[in-house]
């Protein structure tokens, strides 16, 4: 592949030739994407063309073909952007997320939908659900779980009253930074951040800023916005928020866990077909009686269906009633999963499928 005797000029000439081929192929792909729109018919919006199961299948093939030197994650990112731009030729998808600009939720939007999608920053997780339900956003992206701090309870509770469907998931490696106008730690008297981020960095804060006041705010981007208003304040947020709000990175990667990762859910209004590697989330409400949870879980065990996660929350339908959020390997279209759910229905007060969706890619 490489000629050791090639001059720098020859190498650059070859790169230019490859770039021309890449550009021609991207244009050809965009033209074929337009053909898909013609086949599906006139008068449709971007959400009618978006197929998460198809995208997941394409990106898994990208990973299977990848032989380096770029990582799987980098190859997936490049192809995601190509697909995002092709989809947005007529009209971009509108994606609601916990704003303002610069949050980790926005990073999750870009990782999953690419930069051609239109990001709609909202003031709360509740608003994301509301805007999706109203049709003002095609999809929403909400945090649901952190590898160190556990579940985001407000997200789970929204599913108790919302008809939103889970259409996808995103795993985002989260690096927390201390951002401020000053780069002198001794001048910092207050640190703003989202409560989850303060918890993720509590050991670092105790060792490096033991006497500062920690102030919880609605989002990390809001923390950065407040920190830029005072020379003795700082924020814990991502580097993106620092660039958006003009703050210096005083310290980077201050999270206590090296594997600090947040899982986000993509919410929409529809269920989608299987992608070949899927997860199903269900909501089961049971009465407070002996063996209730056993009768819910046993039908999966006898069919060798893996349960990825189970979380309980008060059901809000009566005292001592609980709702169980269960993540299951497989798609709702799978016959063993359908049989298990049918067996559960007589012993549960409520069984609701929240969504079947592709497992997160790198």
For the chain, which residues make up each domain, given as ranges? 1-41, 177-251, 278-358
Q: What is the pLDDT of residue 290?
A: 82
Q: What is the pLDDT of residue 102?
A: 86
Q: What is the pLDDT of residue 91?
A: 84
Q: What is the pLDDT of residue 70?
A: 96
The C-alpha atoms of residue 267 and residue 120 are separated, in whole angstroms, by: 14
Q: What is the pLDDT of residue 362?
A: 83
The C-alpha atoms of residue 335 and residue 357 are separated, in whole angstroms, by: 16
Query: Class for domain 278-358, per CATH?
Result: alpha beta
Q: What tokens were used for 1?
A: 């592949």
Q: What is the pLDDT of residue 101?
A: 87
CA 356 to mean position of chain CA atoms: 15
* Cβ(87)–Cβ(116) below 8 Å: yes
Q: What is the pLDDT of residue 315?
A: 77
Distances (CA, A) of 229 to 186, 235, 245: 18, 11, 10
Q: Is 157 helix (H, G, I), strand (E, B) or coil?
A: helix
The C-alpha atoms of residue 192 and residue 214 are separated, in whole angstroms, by: 6
Query: Class for domain 177-251, per CATH?
Result: alpha beta
Which residues of the chain are under the pLDDT cut of 50?
Answer: none
- Same CATH fold, 278-358 and 177-251? no
């Amino acid at each position: 592949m490489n000629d050791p005797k090639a001059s720098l000029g020859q190498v650059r000439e070859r790169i230019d030739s490859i770039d021309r081929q890449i550009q021609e192929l991207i244009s050809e792909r965009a033209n074929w994407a337009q053909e898909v729109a013609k086949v599906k018919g006139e008068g449709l919006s971007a959400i009618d063309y978006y197929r998460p199961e198809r995208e997941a299948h394409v990106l898994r093939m990208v990973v299977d073909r990848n032989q380096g030197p770029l990582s799987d994650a980098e190859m997936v990112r490049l192809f995601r952007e190509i697909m995002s731009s092709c989809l947005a030729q007529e009209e971009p998808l509108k994606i609601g997320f916990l704003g303002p600009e610069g949050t980790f939720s926005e990073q999750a939007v870009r990782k999953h939908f690419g930069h051609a999608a239109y990001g709609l920053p909202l003031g709360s997780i509740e608003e994301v659900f509301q805007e999706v339900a109203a049709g003002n956003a095609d999809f929403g992206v909400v945090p649901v779980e952190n590898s160190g701090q556990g579940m985001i309870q407000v997200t789970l509770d929204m599913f108790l009253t919302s008809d939103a469907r889970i259409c996808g998931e995103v795993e985002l490696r989260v690096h927390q930074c201390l951002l401020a106008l000053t780069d002198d730690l001794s001048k910092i008297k207050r640190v703003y951040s989202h409560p989850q981020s303060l918890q993720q960095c509590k050991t670092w804060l105790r060792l490096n800023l033991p006497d500062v006041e920690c102030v919880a705010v609605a989002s990390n981007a809001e923390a950065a916005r407040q920190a830029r208003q005072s020379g003795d304040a700082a924020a814990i947020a991502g580097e993106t928020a620092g660039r958006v709000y003009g703050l210096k990175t005083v310290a980077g990667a201050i999270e206590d866990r090296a594997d600090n990762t947040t899982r986000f859910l993509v919410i929409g209004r529809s269920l989608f077909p299987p992608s070949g590697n899927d997860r199903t989330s269900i909501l089961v409400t049971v009465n407070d009686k002996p063996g209730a949870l056993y009768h819910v879980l046993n039908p999966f065990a006898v069919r060798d269906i893996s349960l990825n996660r189970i979380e309980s929350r008060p059901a809000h339908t009566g005292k001592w009633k609980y709702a169980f959020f269960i993540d299951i390997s497989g798609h709702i279209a799978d016959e063993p999963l359908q049989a298990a759910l049918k067996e559960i229905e007589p012993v549960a007060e409520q069984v609701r499928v929240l969504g079947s969706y592709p497992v997160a890619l790198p």
